[in-house]
Chains A and B, each alone.
Chain A
Amino acid sequence: MAIDAGVGARHDAPSSAGAPGTSGYSPSEMMAVVAARELRDGEIVFVGIGLPNLACNLARATHAPGLVLIYESGAVGAVPERLPVSIGDPSLVTGSLMVCGMADVFQYLLQNGCIEVGFLGAAQVDRWANLNTTVVGDYDHPTVRLPGSGGAAEIATHARRTIVVAKLNRRAFPEAVDFVTSPGHSYHGTPRRALGLPGAGPVKVITDRGVLEPDSSGELVLTALYPGVAPADVARDVGWPLRSRDPLTTLDPPTTTELVLLRERLDPDKLFLKG
């Protein structure tokens, strides 16, 4: 299948839109577009760096000009005029509505319940949408040490809903993560609501081939596919018997407008749109 052609390879997806210039796009571009379409105009979003940041700024440039971007570094209502390489880029401050200290960000904005959407990436996502960004392997003797929580644990706790972006592969989607950094829908058999977590947790996991969502028990199931992708293409890289929702939808590919914005304005150097 074309999407498996390799990192960085553009491929020709069957174009349902048929618009010129949209027939070739990368998995990362599709992820950013799908993530952007999840955001509604006027929503208050806690933005992470990388693809989430691209998705938010794409949404702001298209259907959601009134999106309020909040970064954990303290910028509220940010309007970055360049692609922020880091979450503390000065472009997040200049022209924003407010800059506050991080104690205010976590207590008065996040814990207070102001944040409608939280955006997270993860090195591992498991069957119950628990997220790992801490270690691969044993905590005390890790095979790979990852950066850790940052604000992720509290974002997945408090944001009214959380959207996760992660590329599929078998190591990234195990039955159970090596370390639960950010809470999903079930922790060692205890359901999320019994844990007293204020937010709904991860409501969508946007991958490079389709979208997973929790069913009523909190287990991630396949709910949408990208053009040209079959359910088996997703299931083979997921570490649990992946069920599909019926009916399964196929999402529209990126439009020309979305691709032009991503390639020419938002990430011209392909800093976050690799592959």
Chain B
Amino acid sequence: MSMRDAIGAFVHDGDTLVIEGFTHLICFAAGHEIIRQGRRELVLCRLTPDLIYDQMIAAGCARKLVFSWAGNPGAGSLHAFRRAIEGPAGDGGRRLEIEEYSHFGMVARLAAGAARLPFWPLRDYAGTDLPAANPRISTVTCPYTGERLATVPALNPDVTIIHAQRADAQGNTQIWGLLGVQKEAAFASRHVIVVVEEVVDERVIRADPNRTLVPGIIVDAVVHEPWGAHPSYAHGYYDRDNDFYVSWEAISRDPARLGQYLDRFVLGVPDRSAYLALLPDLRTRLRVSDRICAGVNYGY
């Protein structure tokens, strides 16, 4: 399925949307297509909103952000996000709603969602202001020990989009490198879109089933979109574009520059291949070295 068709079919105004990937495998291609299709009132959930949600907030896609760490990793702030919640009114007079957890809290929300439980217990938040800031963080008394534990509510997104190195046509998805919360997010979601660097034959998946993180039985659409995670990275395919992450500090700080960025690289292109055509140096600049691992014997 093309990215345009997948977003058109599964992402609707007002949806609760997760695009996961912890630094690794963040699907910018999907975020850009959502901006192009003009989705509005989305509830955007991610541990680290990262540049992709900063761009989507700037483009007016979001009603609410659910998150646990909203910075530009290693490089500064997410200024569109900050403008939308700092000061008396927020950007454009309309304040972005936020619902804030810690990383463990967000992970636990998705774990509960994936297991179809109403909440998840965790030993956390005592002595912090987070429950006061977010009344959805609560407590429960353990029926076995009497201990008071923190709880967070299940997160069951309408749509989860994950990027991966490879999948077969049925969506059996293999990921290596950092795994983030992609598995939990996919199982928690009503619909799952998998975006991959390579579509491989089912035999490739079956030859190494331990590497499959998400099975095709929960996947609604497979999109083949090479370099779809840039400026994030795909381990073994291309490196993280740290220079772009650093440059985002200055771009996002200035609303006019941010607008020009979106006009040129998102709204000004029809699809990912046109985006890549604007960045001809990526293949050399972000080329990875080879560190091939030996296979294992699945024989019996």
A: which residues have CB within 8 A of B?
Answer: 49-50, 72-75, 84-90, 92-95, 99-103, 106-107, 110-111, 130, 134, 139, 141-154, 157-158, 179-184, 187, 190, 192, 195-198, 271
Contacts and interface: CB of A to CB of B under 8 A. Distances in A.
Interface string B18-42: 0000111000000000000000000
Interface string B181-215: 11110000000000000000000000000000000
Interface string B69-106: 11101110100011001111000000000001111100
Contacts of B182: 101
A102 B127 contact: no
A73 B48 CA distance: 11
A102 B180 contact: yes
B240 A198 contact: no
A103 B233 contact: no
A99 B179 contact: yes
B107 A103 contact: yes
Contacts of A89: 23, 240
Given A74-B179, A102-B180, A139 B133 contact: yes
B117 interface: no
B116 interface: no
A85 B102 contact: no
Contacts of A192: 127
Contacts of A107: 107, 122
Given A139-B133, A180-B127, A101 B184 contact: yes
- The binding surface of chain A is classed by DSSP as loop
A152 B233 CA distance: 25
B102 A149 contact: yes
Interface in B4-30: 22-24
A153 B130 contact: yes
16 contacts: A49-B73, A74-B22, A86-B245, A88-B240, A90-B233, A99-B177, A101-B183, A107-B107, A149-B130, A152-B102, A153-B124, A157-B127, A158-B123, A179-B133, A181-B128, A187-B126
A213 B22 CA distance: 34
A64 B233 CA distance: 31
Contacts of A87: 23, 73-74
Given A148-B68, A148-B70, A180-B127, 10 more contacts: A86-B242, A88-B240, A107-B107, A134-B129, A142-B86, A152-B102, A153-B124, A181-B130, A187-B128, A190-B127
Nearest to A143: B86
B221 interface: no
B123 A179 contact: no
